Amino acid sequence: MVGTDALQAIIYARGALRLLDQRKLPLEVDYIDVKDSADGWNAIKDMVVRGAPAIAIAAALALAVEVSGLDFTGTPAEAASYVSKKLEYLVSSRPTAVNLSDAATKLQTLVSKTAENVRDAKAIFQVYIEAAETMLIDDVADNKAIGSHGSEFLQRQLGNSKNISVLTHCNTGSLATAGYGTALGVIRALHSGGVLEKAFCTETRPFNQGSRLTAFELVHEKIPSTLIADSAAAALMKQGRVQAVIVGADRIAANGDTANKIGTYNLAISAKHHGVQFYVAAPVTSIDLALQSGEEIVIEERSPKELLNSEGGLGKQVAASGISVWNPAFDVTPANLITAIITEKGVITKTDSDGAFDIKGFIQSAK
């Protein structure tokens, strides 16, 4: 599925799941065993695994491991109910990431329909396991398509330049997906095409996904890259050192408003001011057509310890005792600040002079 030298956040064989503990990167590479949905829930909540696509796959596979060896004596309907309730539980681990809830809904529908046509409860679990495994395989293919579409589109937009430099935020690579990555997948494709001059990545405070994870991936892949402080992005753009910003997404509303790691909105405003193109790269599963705008997106708030202590809350105290903390995990970038949305189905561009996206129309035509 991916090369043997590629970074893998998820290692799976039927009945066994191991997740790379991303809290320990880049200094230590350690995998934890996930034996059931409770282990999966904790791994997602504690950010052992993170990134919207990887979260959905890890959750689905955690339950696949649980049911693979389950001694279940109930009916098919009871088996479907068991799977459905476990999926609802897993969704509660990270509510902002739409990929997780979307995957859960599809899997719940699948087992419910299967229960109507089989007599053996084990058939429910078998169908579920196969569907979860397919998610793992499909994600890599989708990511490579995102990379290809994004690379080709950026080159056209930038006049077929052979020296493209981009800025990315948070981590959207192999560690955030089943492999290859979304926004970082576009960077990989630019690099393999020989047109990437440099990739800049932000620290992405307070959990430092950029400095710990994205920098780790870029160095591993030998992609020319430079780490910057979050607060240096505007100065970088003012100096004309990047032609585009490429970020991922945890949830995209029907109008194109995009929830992503906190600090994305800052970058979009700065990019608009400096005339730098701003792209979102994400699978169509990150699009939530049920939400008309970003105003409806639920934003998760993380523990105050992530700001009060070093190492994203895992280290020693660095802030004054008694200070209150506001620590949203995500912010919402309005669609009018986004140049285009890159998906595995193609690139969603704006359709009128008002700068609006017709995302629903794009998805319908792409089916």
Catalytic residue ranges:
250
User: Cα angle vertex 184, ends 181, 188, to 5°?
Assistant: 95
Token representation of residue 101: 């809830």
Closest by Cα among 150, 142, 228 to 191 = 150
Q: Alpha-carbon distance 111 to 80, whole Å?
A: 5
Q: Round to the nearest angstrom and report the end-to-end CA distance of the chain.
A: 25
* Euclidean distance between CA atoms 152 and 113, whole angstroms: 40
Beta-carbon contacts of residue 37 (< 8 Å; ≥ 6 apart): 59, 62, 63, 66, 86, 89, 90
DSSP β-ladder status, 16-20 and 10-13: antiparallel
d(CA 49, CA 19): 7
